[in-house]
Amino acid sequence: MSDYSYDYINSYYEGYYDTETYTSGQITFSGVSTGTDFDTLIEGLVSAESYTLDNLENWKYQWEAKNEALSDLNTALISLQTALEDLDTLSEFFAKSASVTDSSALSVSVDADAQEATHNIVINQLAQNDIWFNTGAGYSATDEVLTSTGGTFVLEYAGESYTIDVEAGTTVSTFVNLINSDADLDDGVRAALVNDGDEYHLELRGMDLGEDNTISITSSTIASLDPSNFEQTQVACNSQIKVDGFPTAADEWIERDSNYIDDVLDGVALTLKDTTDSGGTTMTVSVDNDAIVENVQTFVEQFNTVISLIQEISSVDYESDEDEPEASVMTGNYGVDMVNQNLKDVIATLGLGFSYYDSDTGGGDYYSTLSQLGITTDADDSSVTFGQLLFDEEDFLEALEKDPEGVAMVFSANDIAETDSTDFTILSTVDGTTQPGVYDVEYTMSGGAVVSATIGGETCAISGDEITCISGDALGMALRVDDLTDGTYTGSVAVKRGKIPELVESIDEMCDSQNGILNIIQENYNDIIDSIDDKIDNEETRLEQYESRLRDKYSRLETTLSEYYSLQTTLESQLDQLE
């Protein structure tokens, strides 16, 4: 039997039978000569053969769902970390506020270092800048020419001399621009023209406050800018204040070259607005309980957002079918379980570098865990907040009232070093190197010198009266011996890290783009998905080839059947003629 091309077969039967479709070399059989729907047959066979492809695509979907869940968890953790970073120091978490009796004269801002106290502030003088006007010469217009021959204008500012070269034909406004754009002056002095209604007068203004930032016009070869024409209208001076009556002498003052003073009282920044009478104004620093409670609520809410997501993606629904409960996309996933456990460990354990309080000796930290501060985990498995943090504001405020500094340390101490000894002083620790913890210190003095020392059991380097840890978790810690009497001394140093900085570091490790557990798992999932994609490509190619073989086979069958059908028609016609 001859093999006919698809085009030939199609054209052969055209006009006799209804051929519906033929495209791009793809044979379809609907409505051709035999009346058999081979298209449907082939589609059914290909569909039956596609069970492997269907399984692969379903498998890929499952892994993609896992990957998406991990991405959502990573995003939630980063959001929690970002929120916590706004609270991970004492100054950010331990909110304090200040009030003044005369806000028109003084405003105050404070941070965690400010002590709760009331202070009297007397403001005798505000810091001012130096201002000079050319009162001896006026100009009828801003484009009036200063000099037709050129010259120089020399001024002194803050002890430095500056020469302005003036070209012939320079106008008043151009001269102002020469001063304001002079690179050496660097905006230390600004010039301007002031119109009194009849004339323009040149103003020279020092831009820095304080008595050292004075202006003087030294010389000028331009007649209208002669030093004798200038008059000082405001004298540069320092601000002057007394704090709680200090300095005690009537004519002595605390002076600064600014009206913003942040180096007189620890943690307190004063903004001077006006002078006061001799009685001054009263400033009160107090703990801002409302702001602290709000900080704790933010901490709890952000933490619970992550816990809720973990519960959502890893829970098991036993109500849907008791025999076959429905698992969530990440149920039993070790990475999610590890993240969940890490978060719970940080919340439930003793603060790093903290120790339990000993009521007999008075040693240790009065507060060292979040549970002592009204923050607990909901253990009621029938509760909608099961596994999440609960915040008892009343218990928290009670703890805050007893020991505000201690409460703030539990939350936000950022590797703060403390010692229980009066024999030595902590000089420094190294951020990122010295690890939080409690370290025993032992050293021996002989002949007024340190002869041996250990910190946390590690031998230390000795230089004069200083001891430096050179290995172990306390690496970088430096101490100074204050009591040089011979003997062996012991003590301890606690490097404290609060729960918020501890969480920030834990999240940073879990979400690290290189070595974080979530990233490692996602890279593994991506490899699996890529492998499945390869298998899907191979299976699609196999099915295409399978379909092609089917179409070729049934095409030949259709051709054969068509020939027999044609022969049948011819024979029937001939029989009719015989009759």
199-225: per-residue pLDDT in tens?
Answer: 999 999 999 999 999 999 999 999 999
Q: What does the pLDDT look like over 271-305, one tens digit per residue?
A: 999 999 999 999 999 988 998 999 899 999 999 99
Q: What is the DSSP string of 203-265?
A: EEEESS-STT--EEEEEESSGGG-GGGEEEEE--B-EEEEETTBS-STT--EEESSSEE-SSS
* H or E stretch at 474: none
Return the bridge partners of 239, or none.
256
Q: Cβ distance 147 to 172 under 8 Å?
A: no
The pLDDT score that the predictor gives to residue 304 is: 96
Mean pLDDT for the stretch of residues 360-366: 88
Nearest alpha-carbon partner for 119 in 236, 267, 19: 267
DSSP 524: H
Cβ atoms 140, 212 nearer than 8 A: no
> At 520, is the secondary structure helix, strand, or coil?
helix
Are residues 123 and 101 in contact, defined by beta-carbon separation less than 8 angstroms? no
pLDDT of 16: 32
| Mean pLDDT value across residues 499-519 | 92
Q: Which residue has the higher pLDDT, 490 or 95?
A: 490
153, β-bridge pairs: 164, 220
Higher pLDDT, residue 47 or 106:
106
Radius of gyration of the chain (CA): 43
Domain boundaries, the chain: 6-52+538-578, 96-127+239-287, 131-234, 292-319+327-412, 414-500
The pLDDT of residue 70 is 92
In 407-486, at which residue ranges do the beta strands (DSSP E only) sit?
414-419, 424-428, 437-446, 449-455, 458-463, 466-469, 478-481
- Binning pLDDT at 50, 70 and 90, where does residue 33 land? low
pLDDT surpassing 80 at residue 120: yes
User: Between residues 48 and 326, which one has the greater pLDDT?
Assistant: 48
pLDDT at 113: 84
Least confident of 39-53, 379-393, 407-421, 532-546: 39-53
pTM of the model: 0.67
